[in-house]
Amino acid sequence: MKANILSIVGKSGSGKTTLLEKLIRNLRDKGFTVGCAKHAHKGFEMDREGKDSWRLRKAGAATMVVGPENIALVRDRSESIVEDIDRHLGDMDLVLLEGFKRSHFPKIEIFRTQSGHTEPLAIHDGTLAGFVTDSGFRPDVPVFGIDDIESLCRFIEKEFIR
């Protein structure tokens, strides 16, 4: 299965995570399953050195940590983010990415004037599909107000959830 993938991009402090929270809640309330992948451009380490799960992973195993209410899977990445998303989130109606601004995935940019930035990030990106803003910038894609989550969700449903 190929996942429906949409990236939410914007400069630091623009409100990507807040927008994603609102989108996820709205889409879940409408009955859609939503996955999310956050770009960690500096990398991350979930395990702590010496912990059992770290030792098992270092020995070469994909390791799942299972708690009473959630799970976490730590394994080496494949060569392709699409393969990783399909493998782990492919059963979702939509996978929202936070970041991945240089990817080929369709993007919705959030650009707020109060964040102190003067130019949007992806306004000339050929993959820009939508623009969320409180500014006067009007790229040649659908533009939504910062708080117009319902209209943005209708757009996402129509264009990205098949």
Q: In the prediction, which pLDDT does 42 show?
A: 56
Do the Cβ atoms of 121 and 41 come closer than 8 Å? no
pLDDT at 63 over 60: yes
Task: Please give the pLDDT value at position 109.
Answer: 96
DSSP state of 147: T
CATH class name, domain 5-40+81-160: alpha beta
Q: Where are the domains of the chain?
A: 5-40+81-160
Model-level pTM?
0.84
Instruction: Check if the beta carbon of residue 11 is closer than 8 Å to that of residue 109.
Output: no
Contact assessment for residue 107 and residue 59, using Cβ atoms and an 8 Å cutoff: no
Dump pLDDT digits (tens) for 84-96. 888 888 899 999 9
The answer to whether 130 touches 19, Cβ cutoff 8 Å, is: no
Single-letter residue type at 96 = L
pLDDT at 46: 67
Pairing of strands 63-66, 71-74: antiparallel
31 Rama class: left (phi>0) / alpha (psi -120 to 50) / beta:
left
Quote the pLDDT of residue 101: 85
Please give the order of strands across the beta sheet that includes 107-111.
34-38, 94-98, 5-9, 107-111, 128-133, 143-145
Q: What is the mean pLDDT of residues 133-147?
A: 95
- CB atoms near residue 114 (< 10 Å): 11
Please report which confidence band the pLDDT of residue 3 belongs to, taking 50, 70 and 90 as the band edges: confident
140: Cβ–Cβ under 8 A, 6 or more apart, which residues? none
